[in-house]
Amino acid sequence: MRIVVIGAGFAGLACADRLVTLGHDVTVLEARDRVGGRVWSQELIPGHPQTVVERGAEFVLSGYDVLRETAERFNLGLAPSGMSYYVREPRHTSSPVTAEEVAAVASAMRPAAEATDSRVSLRAFLDQHLPGSAAAEALAARAAISWAASEDLLSCHILLDAVASVQPLPTARVAGGNQGIALALAAHLGDRVRLQTPASAVRTTPEGVRVDVQGASIDADAVVIAIPLPLLEEFDLQPGMPDLQREAMTRMVRGHAAKLHAPLSSRPPASAVLDVARRFWCWTASDDSGEIQPVVHCFSGSAAALAGLDVARGASTWLDAVGALRPDLALASDGALLSTWDDDPWATFAYSGLGAVSRPDDAEIIGAPIGRVHFAGEHTAGEWAGLMEGALRSGLRAADEVHAST
C-alpha cells in the first residue's frame, strides 16, 4: 500500500517507521524545516554541547518503554538528570511547607480522589478536602503547571496519575537531546521524509485518498494525520469528522506552556524548585557528561501563569522571578532562551490532557479512523496524552491499524 503520513513529530515518524517495516510505501509530509515537532533540542550556547536544552518535551519518565526501546535501537543513551522530575521544593506558599509534607498529603488524598467522580475538578476537590492548606496550594500549582492548564479544568483524578506523583522516581533525557529520537527515525526513513511540505487537505476518492500539498496532489491508499489537536480540528478533511469525534476533541484540555533556559556563570548542584505563587518551576540537572549543566531550566504552564510572567513580551519578567526564587544561582547577564508554543503556527498550543469533562472513551473516539483516514498524536494516547511516550505509542497504534486494514 502507498501511505502518506502527515506530520514528522514523534507520532508521525514512529508510524512511518513501523509501516515501512511492515512493507508499505510511505511518504512523510512535514510543514517545518526540521523533524521532531514539539520535541526540539538546541545548544543554548552555540558550539557548547554541554548546554543542550529541550525547547519542547523534556523528561524521560517511568513507564516510557517505547521511547527506551527506540533509543536502544538507535544506540542513543539515556542521561540521568541527577534530580527527580517528581520532587520539587515548594516556595512562595501562604505558609511554609516541605516537599515531604506535600508528598504525604498527596498520598493521604489518593483514596478520596479515587472515590470521587472524575467530573469533579481538582480545584473543587482541594477546596473541599484541604481548604486553606499550603500543601493544597502546592498540589494545585504542580498540577496546573504539569498539565499547562488551570486546576478548574483538570479532573481530581490527576492526583492518581504518575505525572502528578510526588515520589522520587528516576528522571532522564536522551543523551545529546530528545530530538535525537526523531532525527534517528528520520535518517532511517531517508528521502521518504519531505520537509517544508505542508499538506492542506485530505479528500477521500473512490480509489483511496488524495492529499493536497503545495498546489499539487498525492494519491494514496491511506493517510495517517499526525498533527497537533488544534490543527487537526481546522484541517480540511473531506468528508468531515463526525460530530461525535469533534465533541470528544472539544473535551480535551488545551495546555498552554512556555520554557525558559538561562546560562549560569558557575555550575550549581542538582535541584528542583517550585514557585507556587508564580506557577513555574526550575531545575538544574546533569547531562550525558554526568556533570550539572551551567544552565537553569524553567517551565510554566496555564494561560494565567504565562500572562503573569508576561512571556508575550519576552524573558525579562520571568528572569526577574527566577532571580527572586533562586538567589543561589549565578545567572549570566544575557543568553537566555524563551520557548513558546501558542505562537507557533504548526502547534498553536503545548499539549493536550484529560480534563474534568473528559469521558473514558474520548481518546478512542478521537483516534478512530474515518474510512482510509487514520489519526495519530499524543491527543489520541489516552492516559499517555501530552507525553513523548504517548506520541510514539499512538504512531505505532495507527501503523498497526492501517496494516490490519489491508
What confidence tens digit (pLDDT) does each residue in 348-388 have? 999 999 899 999 999 999 999 999 999 999 999 999 999 99
Ramachandran quadrant class, 382 (left: phi over 0; alpha: psi -120 to 50; beta: rest): left
**Residue 340: all three cell numbers together:** 513558546
Torsion sign across C-alpha atoms 110, 113, 118, 120:
negative
Cell numbers describing residue 201: 487537505
Identify the pLDDT of residue 163.
Answer: 41
Is there a contact between 48 and 55 (Cβ–Cβ < 8 Å)? no
Residues ≥6 apart with Cβ < 8 Å to 34: 40, 195
pLDDT attached to residue 162: 46
Rounded to whole angstroms, the Cα distance separating 172 from 164 reads: 17
* Cβ neighbours, 10 Å, residue 313: 8
Average pLDDT of the chain to the nearest whole number: 95
What pLDDT is recorded for position 230? 97
Pairing of strands 352-354, 252-254: antiparallel
Q: What confidence score (pLDDT) does residue 224 get?
A: 98
According to the model, what pLDDT value does residue 366 have? Answer: 96
Alpha-carbon span 7 to 347, nearest angstrom: 11
Q: Which stretches of the chain drop beneath a pLDDT of 50? A: 162-164
Rounded Cα gap, residues 118 and 358, in angstroms: 8
Give the separation between CA 182 and CA 7, rounded to whole angstroms.
Answer: 12
Domains of the chain: 2-39+179-252+360-404 (3.50.50.60), 89-164 (no CATH)
Give the E-state strand segments of 302-406 in sequence order: 337-340, 352-354, 373-375
Residue 354 has a pLDDT of 84
How far apart are alpha carbons 387 and 393 in whole angstroms?
A: 10
* Adjacency order of strands within the sheet including 209-213: 216-220, 209-213, 199-204, 236-238
pLDDT score recorded for residue 236: 97
Q: What is the pLDDT of residue 165?
A: 58
Cell numbers for 393, please give them: 505509542
* Res 166: pLDDT: 67
pLDDT of residue 377: 98
